[in-house]
A and B are shown apart, each in its own frame.
Chain A
Amino acid sequence: MRAVSWHACLRKASWKGDVVTGIYRPPGIAEPGSRLEIIDPYTVRFVFPEPDGGAMARLVIMHMANRQFHRELGWGEKSW
């Protein structure tokens, strides 16, 4: 089990698929003190410094797109 800064960890965990950019994050997910533990190849555990009632909802709207999408389109156009 490892515990690392969550977004760096997600980037590392997904570098093979290149799916997480870290460019877009809803507020609250990556607050200081939060971390992510890799339990097994299919399971991760988010650990927050205090209870976060909105965490699950934020994960739903946390977009995961590859770096090309963010580099060439991003979220401004809104016609994708």
Chain B
Amino acid sequence: MDGFSLPDKRTDQVILEANPEYWDTTRLPRLHRIIFDNTLAQRDAVELVKTGEGHVDLVSELSPLETLRVAESSFAKVVKNRDNTGYLFGQFNMRKAGSPWRDVRLRQAANMAINRDDLIRYATKGNGVIVPALLAVNTFGYDPTLTPYAFDPVKAQALLREAGHPDGLALTLIAPSALEVQATVVGKMLEQVGFTVERQLLEPAVYNQKTDFRALDQPAEQQAWDIALTSFNDLTNFPAIQPYQRFALDGPIDWVIEEPELQQLYTQVLHTVDREHQQALIRQMERHTRDQAYFLFLYNPIKLFAVNKAVEFVLYRTTILNLTETWVTEQHWSVRKQKATGPE
């Protein structure tokens, strides 16, 4: 897979065979066999799914730049997961020695420098949804009354001055190489209000060594970067734990020095099993996080897939590639082949 440079210990293939003896007969698998191919590069897999059949039926993480060519293909279609619980945001490095990002005015200035409509248009060809804070529209705890930071370069410049940087501020923006376009656009927007941006695209393993406390190459206070672009999928749809605990409340990728209020709300969420109460508390977490600008809020990416036309791919909001309900039509190459040659 593109983007991974460490020695790859995966086998060439992972093959899942259907288990017809599964105890829950209402959820028996609808496919006989699923093969995950670890040998194909992303671009090769996309090429195979759109130019033929019998090799690749589904490719995840389709680039927005590829959607038109896939849609024009005779063999493949584009499937969009619009209601997913994924996030794309920036982390401010509040933990490095002498970090200027502990000043909320500076964090707000960065947020006001972002024209999110343009970011989504340029970086994703429209495949993104603006979010007011961290959470996407269909995430548990999303607050529909919360408004995103407005694009306001004049106010951003004023806040930059108020925060003690009348001549602007030089910053280092790091991002995994897969987020190159987003890093470029965000960097340009920050420069428009007075930041001087050094952009660093990092291989994922190196990126982790800069951001993940389980893998840091230097102590947090010696990490020189200022903003780290991050892409994350919440597999739980329970944001108190993911992303909040993970990215802001002593989790493994926490670069936030938060106010006590956020920790108190988090504790309250975990001490109740009343869903309505939980939702109200998470909304308070969102409002507090938005007001404190703990993150550079960007957008909720629409997840894209290239899928063979005879595959009825069933999406999961959490973006898990769970193929339990996915099935194929009579026109699928494997069904046609089985009819021609008889059952295996």
Contacts and interface: CB of A to CB of B under 8 A. Distances in A.
Which range contains the number of B residues in contact with the other chain? 20 to 34
A61 B284 CA distance: 24
Contacts of A58: 241
A56 B270 CA distance: 11
Interface stretch (B2-10, B62-70, B194-202, B336-344): B2-10
B235 A60 contact: yes
A54 B270 contact: yes
Contact of A80 (B10, B235, B242, B273): B10
Nearest to A77: B6
Residue from A54, A75, A78, A80 having most chain B Cβ neighbours under 10 A: A54
Interface in A41-80: 42, 50-54, 56-58, 60-61, 72-73, 75-80
A79 B269 CA distance: 32
B9 A80 contact: yes
Contacts of B240: 53-54, 57
B108 interface: no
Nearest to A60: B236
Interface of A is mostly: loop
B33 interface: no
Interface residues of A, number: 21
B242 A72 contact: no
Nearest to A28: B270
A43 B242 CA distance: 27
A28 B270 CA distance: 10
Interface string B180-214: 00000000000000000000000011001000001
Nearest to A72: B9
Contacts of B235: 60-61
Contacts of B6: 77, 79
Contact of B204 (A26, A60, A75, A79): A79
Contacts of B333: none
B9 A73 contact: yes
B204 A54 contact: no
B9 A61 contact: no
B272 interface: yes
A75 B272 CA distance: 31
B9 A53 contact: no
B9 A78 contact: no
A53 B269 contact: yes
Given A76-B215, A80-B10, A61 B272 contact: no
Given A57-B242, A61-B236, A77 B9 contact: yes
Contact of B214 (A50, A52, A76): A76
Contact of B241 (A54, A78, A79): A54
27 contacts: A28-B270, A42-B23, A51-B272, A51-B273, A53-B270, A53-B271, A54-B270, A56-B238, A57-B236, A57-B237, A57-B241, A57-B242, A60-B235, A60-B238, A61-B236, A76-B214, A77-B6, A77-B9, A78-B205, A78-B208, A79-B1, A79-B4, A79-B6, A79-B8, A79-B10, A80-B9, A80-B10
Given A57-B238, A61-B242, A76-B215, 15 more contacts: A26-B241, A42-B23, A51-B272, A51-B273, A54-B270, A57-B242, A58-B241, A60-B236, A61-B235, A76-B214, A77-B6, A78-B208, A79-B4, A79-B8, A79-B204
Interface of A: 26, 28, 42, 50-54, 56-58, 60-61, 72-73, 75-80
